[in-house]
Structure 1
Amino acid sequence: MFSEQPQQPIAATKKSIFASTWFFILATGCAIWAGSKSSDYYWQHSEMSARQYAMVWDGYQRLSPEGQTKFGSVLLKGFLLKPELSAITDIALQERDSFSISAGDTGEEAESVTHQIYRFYAGIPTVSIAKDKLLASLAAQGSAKPE
């Protein structure tokens, strides 16, 4: 009544499950690796948000004229990348032992992270009242070029 079936389908199923498990592990590993590399790239190459420009503008106003001149050398290209915030903080800390920066009220809404990432990959520059004030002030000193 019962005929013995060959063991090939079971072995093929085991191979398939084993292969799909390794494929899943490989795909997950690649996604984690690529995600970490892309987030590092985003952090190193993305422009500051409008809120961050407001913080920089607030801190810039409290700097001495010498500090403002040093700051202008950081902003030579007409925009600021996120890692340059540490250079700005270093300039401020050279003048004072402690330095706090608050986001001044420029009347702008906070920008979502999703919109910042979209702006970065689309190549759209930040539009900000504080950025415009900062660039105008530095252009008046002659230490930054406008966009």
Structure 2
Amino acid sequence: MRPTTVQRVKKILFQPGLYGLLAVAMATPVSGWAAAWTQAWGKVLATASITGFGFYVWIDPQTANNINNCPKYLEAAVLAQPAAEFFMTYSNGVPSESQKVTITQLSLAVSTGQLVKIYSGSCNNYGNYNSLDGVSLKPN
């Protein structure tokens, strides 16, 4: 019985398959964890803390989308211009430690003009605004 010799497969043969896999991955619609982030880095236009209640954030509407199809996505009543509005409800009337970190990051973004992306998993407890569940500051 003769031993079968198998030739080595070179990397060049894998490249078309790799490019095809990459093209399919890029064409797949956004889903999972990425779906709940704002679509682009945006400027924080204003913030407001309501004692015993929660924290509002308004960002540039050109960079955010109505992630959860909440009815009060764009709010022009508070600011002189339309803005994408997000709301974080305080637990037990006071912000938790993680909420304090988020508030600090957003305050830093307002004071320095740093851009942010906001994570929103649902409409807030009252169903009106996109919830504010996380924030990411754009690295310099």
Relative to the length of structure 2, the TM-score reads 0.29
Q: Which has the higher strand share?
A: 2
When Rg is computed on C-alpha atoms for both structures, the one with the higher figure is 1
Q: Which has the higher helix share?
A: 1
Q: Choose between structure 1 and 2 for higher RCO, CA contacts under 8 A separated by at least 6 residues.
A: 1
